[in-house]
Amino acid sequence: MENSDRDLLKKTSQQAYENVMTDKLTQTIEDYLKVIYEITLTSERANTNQIAEAMNITPASVTGMIKRLSKNDPPLVDYQSHHGVILTDTGLLKALEVIRHHRLIEMFLHQILDYKWDEVHAEADILEHSISEELEERIAIVLGDPTHDPHGDPIPTRDLKLPSTRWIQLSTVTSEQKAIIQRVNDSSPELLRYLSQIGLTPNTEITVLRYSPFDKNLEIQVSEREKSIVIGPDISRQIYVRIIS
């Protein structure tokens, strides 16, 4: 490929990126794209029932919307009847843009406005759709360009890239091992409050002392705490760790 061709390709790609960023979507569409993205992190494609459950709406409503999104110009999803849906490249960029807004807002609320980590998710869900790109940039600068939100989720970069992660669910650790908590599922404020009380927060070092194969409970020693704690699988499945030894 000639240098002129490479320059044209780079310019065209940049223009496509800028077009996606300036094409404002409705809040409902952005919510759909974010939910589909989150589901397809662990599934090859998102099905109608998964989306309906996550958004607390009827499957029929989901079907109508994803058909609409698949016919958008450009298409935001690739929909195949009875085979589920995935985001197109355009849809993925829009989802990551909303996610960047959400996680930066969470950090701003937590670090600057002293919101607790169990309070920021609901507020960010509202604000993520309304902030401008200029405000997003100012928030990022004030925070020192954070790489993760208060729950340990990675924040997409300015060009909407996400770092690769090598986390595993704490529930899969079945032998004596040391680990560092990387991320906690932020969907339940009650869970977040409880985890704060027992010291299971991001960047905390823990040691798995014992695993019970009968009830799948884990006995854990949290760093700088004298007594060990026991947690069940409903909790350990919500915590992601990096094994260190």
The answer to whether 196 and 241 have CB atoms below 8 angstroms apart is no
Q: What angle do CA 165, 169, 173 make, to 5 degrees?
A: 120
Same domain, 239 and 151: no
Structural domain tally of the chain? 2
pLDDT by residue, tens only, the chain of 245 residues = 444 444 433 443 444 444 444 456 899 999 999 999 999 988 899 999 999 999 999 999 999 999 999 999 999 999 998 899 999 999 999 999 999 999 999 999 999 999 999 999 999 999 999 999 999 999 999 999 999 999 999 999 999 999 888 899 999 999 999 999 999 999 899 999 999 999 999 999 999 999 999 999 999 999 989 899 999 999 999 999 999 98
What is the CATH number for 59?
A: 1.10.10.10
* Residue 187 DSSP one-character state: S
Same domain, 67 and 155: yes
Question: Residue 161, Cβ neighbours under 10 Å: how many?
Answer: 10
Same domain, 90 and 103: yes
Same domain, 114 and 154: yes
Same domain, 155 and 189: no
Last residue of a domain, one of 164, 199, 230: 164
Structure tokens at 121: 């998710």
Last residue of a domain, one of 146, 164, 182: 164
Q: Which domain holds residue 41?
A: 1-164
Asked, as a colleague might, if the bond just before 156 is cis with ω within 30 of 0, I would say: no
Rg (CA), the chain: 20
Same domain, 147 and 81: yes
Sign of the alpha-carbon dihedral angle for 229, 230, 235, 236:
positive
Could you tell me whether strands 177-184 and 84-87 are parallel, antiparallel, or unpaired per DSSP bridges? Answer: unpaired
The whole-number pLDDT of residue 23 equals: 55
Sign of the alpha-carbon dihedral angle for 130, 127, 158, 93:
negative
Last residue of a domain, one of 164, 188, 217: 164
- In 69-160, beta strands by DSSP E: 77-80, 84-87
Ramachandran region, residue 65 (left: φ > 0; alpha: ψ -120 to 50; beta: rest): alpha
